[in-house]
């Protein structure tokens, strides 16, 4: 046992002990092997389908993926060892799942961009549909952008104070039954279907103003019913992330609890809070059903007054345009183009919001010097 | 401005659990008092009752009397917030406010309480507190940088500067060096020696050499048994506790026979 496993002497050449005989050695596939194998599989699969005269990207991708998984596992099992073979198989499966998850997203974005760009220009963004009859090659989305900004802006103004204060209560003050009840009802609220939120406001409006009243404020209230629970949940998480030590540090300096919350807890969490609020906003900006019920869908003119008559918004605009696609002749074509262009506008608005969220969280998060 | 603390028959509870039982002691002004004892014997809990930080924990309560000179800290009409302005605290883990610069961290006590003060006055407080904390030379050129960018030892000294900036009568320290290297520990021990000229200092430590080095008086806490409340076993001059303690338990702990 003492001498049998000694490596063969290579000390004279100065290369140290021989790795091959040390028992730690195993053969490895070169690092470029998976990429090269994937290229080969793709080439073989597409060539085969091409020869059969039935080339289509989806079956080619499927055959490539399966072929790659089989080939990489077997070659790894032969050249390397079982553990590495399993590792390579699972790695491959994970990449496949990722690709499957991303494909619809990319497909959706590219479709919207390709179809939307037809009509997406400064004219489309800067005019309303006032006086545009279906067969006219005119009209735009400006009134819907204004409506969306007014309605979601109002919804934010309503939801953020309520949501944030609820979260502060739950995290900092709440105890026992009341806290549990609030958490429970916030969870229930998260699950409210958006159309029900719309109906709730319709009922409220009938009670207050009489039947048939639709306006932007009603839409904003319907959206804030949907937005408040999201703001509460995300703010709660963010406030919980603030270390207790910071609160105690403030208390130990003789700072009252409310000042500690206002000046230590909220500023420390501000980046996360802002991100959460913007994500909640992005969640409700695409709501259609409650807005059709509450803000109406008859508006074609620019209306920035939330208490005066119908107010158009981007999702409702899209819905309306899609309904008009059934019109015969030019009218249907124009309606379809408007629907895609408005969809592109909405996606851009949401992307802008997400970008803002990322920038805000970067600039507001406490620095490290 | 240093004040004496008299504790009599103090029991500390977390809900129904009695964590500390029947403590009676006197903490002398302008001196350093060290609390030693094994983990979980209630020394930190007891320390937190002295400035009413204990009751921040839900369900925590206290029976007994804590006198700060002539003021009953637990009297009904006493506001815990004002008690904490008199009795400052430094924690085990350095906790500078991450949203604030070094400068703002030092004057956080005034700033968070919305106290208005002139720029020259706050400059003066910042420099004095940082000098007291032996940190001025290291940070004077970057006072506007975030406090979280300092090393662990510097952060802890920043927290001490923050605590002394509000000029409390008493300074409580809960294992202030347990997360620090020997050099930073030495810096903080020097600082404690300097601060005791003006403050009443109480320090909890697991390090018996540290207790022997920095303190004038030492209190030894121990558990009566598992699940039992912690008790004050013995308190006296540090020299006496470490050379010829009255109680066998203390001697066992000091000499490393357990704990």
Helices (H), chain B: 43-50, 80-86, 102-106, 108-112, 119-132, 136-139, 152-165, 182-195, 208-214, 238-243, 248-254
| pLDDT at site A313 | 92
Which residues are bridge partners to B34 per DSSP?
A: B203, B218
Task: Express each pLDDT in B219-244 by its tens digit.
Answer: 999 887 777 888 898 899 998 988 88
Q: How confident is the model over B154-210, as pLDDT tens digits?
A: 899 899 999 989 888 899 999 988 878 888 888 889 889 988 888 899 999 988 889
Contact residues for A90 (Cβ-Cβ < 8 A; gap 6+): none
Average pLDDT over residues A140-155: 92
Give pLDDT tens digits for A316-327: 999 999 998 888
Contacts of A270 in chain B (CB under 8 A): 99
Q: What is the pLDDT of residues A312-351, one digit of tens each?
A: 999 999 999 999 888 888 888 888 999 999 999 999 999 9
Give residue A9's pLDDT band: very low, low, confident or very high (50, 70, 90): very low
Which of B135, B160, B134 minimizes the C-alpha distance to B145? B135
Number of H helices, E strands in chain B: 11, 10
Q: Is the CB of residue B133 less than 8 Å from the CB of residue B190?
A: no
User: Would the pLDDT of A134 be above 80?
Assistant: no
What pLDDT does residue A121 have? 87
Task: Please tell me the number of Cα atoms within 13 Å of B13 on its side-chain side.
Answer: 8
Distance from CA of B83 to the nearest CA of A (A): 7
Q: What domains does chain A contain, in order, with CATH numbers?
A: 30-116 (no CATH), 126-363 (1.10.3720.10)
For chain B, domains (ranges, CATH) are 5-100+174-255 (3.40.50.300)
Chain A within 8 Å of B88 (Cβ-Cβ)?
A: yes
pLDDT > 60? residue A251? yes
Distance of residue B9 Cα from the nearest chain A Cα, in angstroms? 24
Local structure of residue B35 (DSSP, 8 states)? E
C-beta atoms of B95 and A268 within 8 A: no
Alpha helices in chain A (DSSP H): 33-52, 57-79, 82-116, 122-126, 142-168, 176-190, 194-209, 216-241, 244-252, 257-260, 266-285, 289-294, 314-324, 330-364
Q: Identify the pLDDT of residue A214.
A: 85
Contact: B166, A264; criterion CB under 8 Å: no
Arithmetic mean of pLDDT over chain A: 87
CB pairs under 8 A between A and B: 89
- Report field, pTM of the whole predicted structure over 0.90: no
Q: From chain B, pick out residues whose CB is under 8 angstroms from the CB of A258.
A: none
């Amino acid at each position: 046992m003492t001498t049998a496993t000694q490596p063969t002497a290579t000390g004279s050449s100065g290369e140290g002990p021989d790795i091959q005989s040390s028992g730690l050695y195993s053969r490895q596939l070169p690092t470029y092997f998976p990429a090269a194998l994937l290229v080969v599989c793709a080439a073989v699969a597409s060539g085969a389908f091409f020869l059969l005269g039935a080339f289509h990207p989806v079956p080619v991708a499927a055959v490539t993926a399966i072929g790659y998984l089989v080939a990489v596992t077997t070659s790894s099992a032969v050249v390397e060892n079982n553990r590495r073979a399993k590792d390579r198989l699972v790695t491959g499966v994970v990449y496949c799942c990722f690709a499957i998850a991303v494909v619809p997203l990319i497909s959706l974005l590219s479709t919207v961009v390709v179809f939307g760009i037809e009509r997406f220009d400064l004219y489309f963004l800067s005019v309303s549909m006032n006086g545009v009859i279906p067969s006219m090659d005119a009209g735009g989305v400006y009134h819907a952008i204004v409506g969306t900004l007014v309605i979601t802006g109002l919804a934010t103004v309503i939801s953020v104070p309520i949501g944030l204060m609820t979260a502060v209560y739950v995290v900092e003050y709440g105890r026992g039954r009341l806290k549990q009840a609030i958490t429970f009802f916030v969870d229930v609220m998260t699950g409210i279907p958006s159309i029900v939120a719309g109906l709730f406001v319709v009922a409220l409006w009938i009670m207050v103003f009489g039947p048939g009243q639709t306006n932007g404020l009603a839409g904003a209230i319907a959206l804030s019913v949907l937005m408040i629970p999201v703001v509460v949940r995300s703010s709660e998480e963010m406030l919980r992330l603030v270390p207790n030590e910071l609160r105690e540090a403030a208390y130990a300096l003789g700072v009252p609890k409310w000042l500690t919350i206002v000046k230590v807890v909220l500023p420390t969490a501000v980046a996360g809070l802002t991100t959460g609020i913007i994500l909640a906003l992005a969640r409700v900006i695409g709501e259609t059903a409650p807005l059709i019920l509450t803000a109406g869908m008859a508006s074609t003119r620019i209306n920035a007054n939330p208490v005066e008559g119908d107010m158009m918004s981007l999702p409702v605009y899209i819905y309306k345009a899609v309904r008009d696609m059934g019109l015969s002749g030019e009218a249907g074509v124009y309606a379809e183009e408007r629907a895609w262009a408005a969809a592109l506008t909405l996606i851009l608005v949401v992307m802008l919001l997400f970008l803002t969220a990322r920038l805000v969280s970067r600039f507001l998060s406490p620095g490290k010097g | 401005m240093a004040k004496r603390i008299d504790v009599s028959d103090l029991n500390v509870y977390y809900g129904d659990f009695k964590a500390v039982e029947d403590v009676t002691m006197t903490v002398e002004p302008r001196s350093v008092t060290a609390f030693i004892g094994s983990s979980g014997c209630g020394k930190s809990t007891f320390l937190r009752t002295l400035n009413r930080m204990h009751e921040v924990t839900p369900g925590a309560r206290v029976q007994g009397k804590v006198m700060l000179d002539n003021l009953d800290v637990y009297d009904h009409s006493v506001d815990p917030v004002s008690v904490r302005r008199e009795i400052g605290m430094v924690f085990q883990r350095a906790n500078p406010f991450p949203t604030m610069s070094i400068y703002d961290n030092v004057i956080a006590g005034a700033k968070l309480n919305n106290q208005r003060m002139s720029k020259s006055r706050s400059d003066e407080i910042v420099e004095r507190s940082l000098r007291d904390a032996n940190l001025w030379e290291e940070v004077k050129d970057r006072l506007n940088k975030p406090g979280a960018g300092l090393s662990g030892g510097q952060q802890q000294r920043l927290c001490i500067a923050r605590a002394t900036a509000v000029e409390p009568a008493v300074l409580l320290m809960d294992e202030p060096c347990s997360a620090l290297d020997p050099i930073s520990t030495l810096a903080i021990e020097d600082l404690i020696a300097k601060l005791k000229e003006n403050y009443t200092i109480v320090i909890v430590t697991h390090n018996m050499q540290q207790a022997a080095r920095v303190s004038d008086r030492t209190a030894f806490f121990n558990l009566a048994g598992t699940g039992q409340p912690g008790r004050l076993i013995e308190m006296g001059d540090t020299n006496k506790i470490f050379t010829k303690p009255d109680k066998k338990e203390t001697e066992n702990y000091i000499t490393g026979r357990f704990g």
